[in-house]
Amino acid sequence: MIAGFIVHLAQVRRKIMKFVDYVTIVVKSGKGGAGSVSFRREKFNPRGGPNGGDGGKGASVIFRAMRQLTTLLDLRYSRHHNAENGHNGSSSLKTGKDGVDIILRVPAGTIIKDSDSDETLYELLHDGDEFIVVKGGRGGKGNAFFKSATRQTPRFSQPGEDGEERNITLELKLLADIGLVGFPNAGKSTLVSTLSAARPKVADYPFTTLVPSLGVVSVGDYQSFVIADIPGIIKGAHEGKGLGVRFLKHIERNAVLLFLVPSDSEDIVAEFQTLLHELEEFDAKLLSKPRIIGISKMDLVPPDERRRFEENLREEFFGTEKNVFFSAVAHIGLDDLKALLWKHVEQAHSFDFPDV
C-alpha cells in the first residue's frame, strides 16, 4: 500500500511538471533599422542625387492561441524572448529587411497581463486568436526621403525606432463545455475516462487528480462537447486550502457545471452545499452558471434500494435542481447523463454568456 502510494506521488509529480497554468516572461520587440545616407556616383553623373534607402521594421512579439495546447510548460523554461532588429537601408534606394516576428503559441483561454501594473492586456479565447504584445520599431528614413526643392543633397538619415520591452504574466484558464466540481474521490476522473478518450490518473487516493485535464465526449456521429476534470475541491478552497484557488479559476470558463457527489458520502446534502459555498466565496458569478447534480458511484447502492434512494433525494433535497444518478465503473445511467449534459451544453451556447 505504501509502495503504491509512493509510486503514485512520483507519477503525479511528473504530471504536475507537464501542466503549467501560470508563467512570467520578458518580451522585447526589435529595433527598426537605420536609414542610409548615400548618393549616386555614376560615371557620367558624379554628383547624383541622394539614394539612401529606408531601414527595415523591427520584429514584433505575437501571442497566438492554439486549442491543441493545454499547458504553458514551454514558456516556463524560456523566459526571455527578444525579437530581431530590422536591417539598415542601403544605397540605390534599397530598403532594409524587416525583422522576423516571434510567434509564441499558447493554449486557448490564456490571459495576458502586464506584470508591473497587473493590467489585463488581452484574453485569447478562441483557436487562432492573436495579440501583438510588443510592436517592432519603425525603420528610419533614408536621405532620399528628405530630398526637396530647397534641399537637394540631404546628408542625414533617420535612425530606427527603438523596440518595446515588457514583463508579461500569462495565466491559463481551461475552456470547456462541462466542468466537473466535486470533492476528491468523487469519481470525476473515472467519469472523464469513461465518457471520452482522455486517460487521467485514476486511483483510490485522495487528490489523485492534481492537474486539470480535458476530454472530448462524442454525441452521435458529428457532435461533441469538451469536459474538464478539475482537481478535487476541499472545504476552505476559496481561502487557498489545498490547491483551491489555483484550480477554482479553471471553473470560471466552463459553460455548464456538473457537481459530483458520491452515493457513499456521509451527507450528500451537506457536501453539495459545501461545494456551492466554496464557489460562491471564490466568485459569486459562478452560481449563475447552469448546473447539474450528479450522484456518482451508484454501483455501491444495492440494486433493490436504488429506486427508493433516488426518490428520497429528489423529494427531500433536489427540488428544481437538475440531477442524474450514475456509475462510471458499472456503466449505470451514463446514456441519461450524456443526454442531459448535451442538452445543457446546447442551451448554454444558445445564449451569449459573458466571458469571465
pLDDT-derived band at 238 (thresholds 50, 70, 90) equals very low
Across 19-28, 164-173, 237-246, 288-297, least confident range: 237-246
Residue extents of the structural domains in the chain: 20-172, 176-349
CATH of 176-349, one of 1.10.640.10, 3.30.70.260, 3.30.565.10, 3.40.50.300: 3.40.50.300
Residue 220 has pLDDT above 80, yes or no: no
Determine the pLDDT at residue 234: 55
pLDDT-derived band at 14 (thresholds 50, 70, 90) equals very low
Determine the pLDDT at residue 57: 98
pLDDT-derived band at 245 (thresholds 50, 70, 90) equals low
Highest mean pLDDT among 89-103, 181-195, 209-223: 89-103
3-state SS, one letter per residue, for 162-231: CCCEEEEEEEECCCEEEEEEECCCCCHHHHHHHHCCCCCCCCCCCCCCCCCEEEEEEECCCEEEEEEECC
- Half-sphere exposure for 203 (CA within 13 Å, toward CB): 16
Residue 289 has pLDDT above 60, yes or no: yes
* Better pLDDT: 351 or 221: 221
Rounded Cα distance, 255 and 347, in Å:
10
The distance in angstroms from the start CA to the end CA of the chain is 42
pLDDT-derived band at 307 (thresholds 50, 70, 90) equals very high
Determine the pLDDT at residue 7: 43
Find the DSSP H helices in the chain: 2-18, 73-76, 188-195, 244-248, 268-282, 303-313, 334-349
| pLDDT tens, position by position, 309-355 | 999 888 877 777 889 999 999 999 999 999 999 999 888 877 544 44
Cell output for 212: 486539470
Give mean pLDDT, residues 64-68: 89
Contact 133, 27 (CB under 8 A): yes
* Superfamily name and number for 20-172: GTP1/OBG domain (2.70.210.12)
Rg (CA), the chain: 29
| pLDDT tens, position by position, 90-145 | 999 999 999 999 999 998 889 999 999 999 999 998 999 999 999 999 999 999 99
What backbone phi and psi angles, to 5 degrees, belong to 165?
A: -135, 135
Residue 282 has pLDDT above 60, yes or no: yes
